[in-house]
């Protein structure tokens, strides 16, 4: 992806023009968001996930933001240039941005933040090519790369590159446990004024926000409501104006019947959420590809989509989400075929015993996600029993327990939910690179999958700036991975958002609810 300065200026002009074409926003009012997500803290520079991102993107500004067509738009960077050789990106910052404590945002803060993210963020491939960051003046940033990095502009998005104040975080304390993570100072449209962990947090309008007139809302209050039925009751009664990241079949159906809300699946393109069954390829018998293929044929994914998910979800066939530039469906489909599964298990050297069983496996799942996780695990158990595989469903009392098991490779099969995060370099590579088999780290290569050719492809694609050449590389990658089945892809997670019908400019860009809500307002 090559974006030159003229393109940046054109984007900014179109963006500003678009802003004047809509009805005049009405400032004021409070938005209550009901959420099941409990943020551990608010610093998205060192923590991934939607629990942090939805709040972090209101508190911190990033260099760029993106529209619903994947086009970069000005934010802290008013313009930018990518060098013809792809080995540097220059950002020209706005000159009126200040942090919530009144200190100016400068190139030093951007350089500092890039260093923090590169050293601490779980997505190690995201900024791996960054060599140095130069600051020739207070409002110019030059990012020097060891090799071209086609995903760098996307890495500058709000959920991935919050700009931290160096004067606060550069005090020598560990950024991952810094006290400011729970009392953050950013330059975004809202500032955190109150937080009661596990219950609620309050974001107030920042009056010195660098985008004139914004944000329009006076306050955003996020209430933590673990029970899905209670969240829906709040929506029905008008006690909340927004629910997001909703994937439960019954929740989605119920929201669509409400007269007072608009329900949409828009806004999750860059998240790229996939629901899948992962195999621990480092343990027998799952180190045998024929066993993994047999399991793939023994599971009726069509039944899962049509019956268990009520037609709300679409199939996922590969590690890359449909609808994105690098997706291909020219891969092995593994149709439901118990006879083929039995034949593969026999060939693999696991004949049926006198009692009809072959071997026993455990299956784990992420707790508190019934439709996408627990129900599928329970469905897979009798399906595999039909071909002689005894499955024990192993529940975890909470997310940390599940994450510890899977991150430590203490599992056979597990349901999982993993995001693409806009570009394969950012969110896909981490699952398949043999160099990312890191014990104790969830959402790394916890399958212990190794393939030298896959490592080569991903390394080459990570520095290839030509879109068509990248597409060819990722096509080969998808074919290999699907053929070797370290993971059986089940469905694209059907995330939906519901908004009070009186809300305008709701967040439905590629980052959806994990993007700044400075344009949203009440029409009342």
Mind spelling out the 3-state secondary structure of 373-416?
HHHHHHHHHHHHHCCCEEEEEECCCCHHHHHHHHHCCCCCEEEE
User: Structure tokens of 200?
Assistant: 């609620």
Confidence tier at 15 by pLDDT (50, 70, 90)? very low
Q: Are residues 21 and 119 in the same domain?
A: yes
Q: Are residues 122 and 248 in the same domain?
A: yes
Q: Are residues 516 and 407 in the same domain?
A: no
Q: How far apart are CA 388 and CA 403, in angstroms?
A: 29
Q: Are residues 358 and 301 in the same domain?
A: yes
Average pLDDT over residues 390-413: 95
Number of other CB atoms surrounding residue 20 within 10 Å: 7
390 lies in which domain range? 273-492
Bond preceding residue 215 cis, omega within 30 of 0 = yes
Average pLDDT over residues 124-147: 97
Q: Are residues 400 and 315 in the same domain?
A: yes
CATH number (domain holding residue 248): 3.40.190.10
Vertex 63: Cα angle to 61 and 65 (nearest 5): 80
Q: Are residues 392 and 501 in the same domain?
A: no
CATH number (domain holding residue 386): 3.10.105.10
Kindly tell me if the per-residue pLDDT of 2 is higher than 60.
no
Angstrom distances, CA of residue 126 to CA of 15, 121, 134, 416, 426: 27, 9, 19, 22, 5
Q: Are residues 347 and 481 in the same domain?
A: yes
Locate tokens 């086009």: which residue? 71
Kindly tell me if the per-residue pLDDT of 400 is higher than 60.
yes
Task: Give the model confidence (pLDDT) of 315-369 as tens digits.
Answer: 999 999 988 889 999 999 999 999 999 999 999 999 999 999 999 999 999 998 8
Q: Are residues 445 and 511 in the same domain?
A: no
Number of other CB atoms surrounding residue 460 within 10 Å: 14
Q: Are residues 19 and 152 in the same domain?
A: yes
Question: Dihedral sign, CA of 510, 512, 514, 519?
Answer: positive
Question: What's the distance, CA 407 to chain centroid?
Answer: 18
User: Structure tokens of 403?
Assistant: 């994450």
Q: Are residues 487 and 509 in the same domain?
A: no
Task: Give the model confidence (pLDDT) of 468-519 as tens digits.
Answer: 999 999 999 999 999 999 999 999 999 999 999 999 999 999 999 999 999 9
Q: For residues 446 and 440, is the Cβ–Cβ distance under 8 A?
A: no
Q: Are residues 43 and 156 in the same domain?
A: yes
Kindly tell me if the per-residue pLDDT of 69 is higher than 50.
yes
Q: Are residues 254 and 298 in the same domain?
A: no
Q: For residues 200 and 223, is the Cβ–Cβ distance under 8 A?
A: yes
How many domains are there within the chain?
2
Closest among 362, 363, 373, 446 to 407, alpha carbons compared: 446
- The half-sphere exposure of 378 on its side-chain side, counting CA atoms within 13 A, is 10
What pLDDT was estimated at residue 486?
98
Task: Give the model confidence (pLDDT) of 373-389 as tens digits.
Answer: 999 999 999 999 999 99
């Amino acid at each position: 992806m090559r974006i030159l300065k003229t393109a940046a200026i054109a984007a900014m002009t179109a963006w500003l023009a678009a802003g004047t074409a809509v009805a005049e926003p009405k400032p004021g009012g409070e938005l209550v968001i009901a959420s099941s997500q409990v943020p551990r803290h608010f610093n998205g520079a060192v923590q991934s996930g939607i629990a942090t991102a939805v709040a972090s993107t209101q508190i911190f500004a990033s260099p760029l933001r993106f529209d619903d067509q994947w086009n970069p738009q000005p934010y802290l960077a008013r313009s930018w240039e990518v060098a013809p050789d792809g080995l540097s990106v220059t950002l020209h910052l706005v000159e009126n941005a200040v942090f919530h404590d009144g200190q100016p945002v400068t190139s030093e803060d951007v350089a500092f933040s890039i260093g923090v993210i590169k050293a601490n963020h779980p997505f190690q491939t995201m900024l791996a090519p960054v060599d140095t960051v130069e600051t020739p003046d207070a409002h110019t940033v030059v990012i020097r790369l060891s090799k071209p990095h086609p995903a760098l502009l996307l890495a500058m998005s709000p959920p991935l590159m919050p700009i931290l104040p160096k004067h606060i975080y550069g005090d020598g304390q560990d950024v991952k446990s810094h006290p400011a993570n729970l009392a953050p100072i950013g330059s975004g449209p809202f500032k955190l004024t109150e937080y009661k962990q596990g219950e609620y947090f309050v974001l107030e309008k920042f009056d010195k926000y660098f985008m004139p007139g914004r944000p329009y809302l006076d306050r955003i209050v996020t209430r933590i409501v673990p029970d899905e039925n209670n969240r829906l009751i709040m929506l029905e009664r008008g006690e909340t104006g927004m629910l997001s990241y909703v994937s439960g079949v019954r929740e989605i159906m119920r929201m669509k019947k409400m007269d007072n809300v608009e329900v949409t699946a828009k806004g999750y393109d860059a998240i790229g959420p996939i629901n899948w069954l992962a195999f621990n390829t480092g343990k027998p018998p799952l180190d045998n590809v024929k066993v993994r293929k047999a399991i793939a044929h023994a599971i009726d994914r069509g039944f899962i989509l049509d019956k268990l998910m009520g037609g709300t979800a679409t199939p996922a066939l590969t590690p890359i989400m449909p609808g994105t530039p690098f997706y291909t469906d020219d891969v092995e489909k593994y149709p439901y075929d118990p006879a083929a599964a039995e034949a593969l298990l026999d060939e693999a050297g696991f004949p049926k015993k006198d009692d009809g069983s072959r071997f026993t496996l455990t299956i784990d799942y992420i707790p508190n996600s019934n439709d996408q996780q627990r129900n599928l695990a329970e469905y897979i158990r009798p399906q595999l029993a039909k071909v002689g595989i005894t499955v024990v469903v192993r529940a975890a009392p909470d997310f940390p327990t599940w994450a510890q098991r899977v991150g430590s490779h203490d599992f056979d099969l597990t349901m999982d939910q993993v995001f693409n995060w806009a570009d394969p370099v950012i969110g896909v590579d981490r699952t398949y690179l043999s160099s990312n088999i890191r014990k104790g780290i969830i959402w790394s290569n916890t399958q212990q999958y190794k393939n030298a050719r896959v490592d080569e492809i991903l390394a080459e694609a990570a520095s290839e700036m030509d879109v068509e050449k990248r597409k060819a590389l990722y096509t080969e990658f998808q074919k290999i991975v699907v053929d070797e089945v370290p993971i059986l892809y089940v469905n694209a997670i059907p995330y939906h958002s519901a908004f009070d019908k009186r809300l305008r400019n709701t967040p439905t860009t590629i980052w959806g609810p994990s993007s700044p809500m400075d344009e949203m307002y009440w029409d009342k």
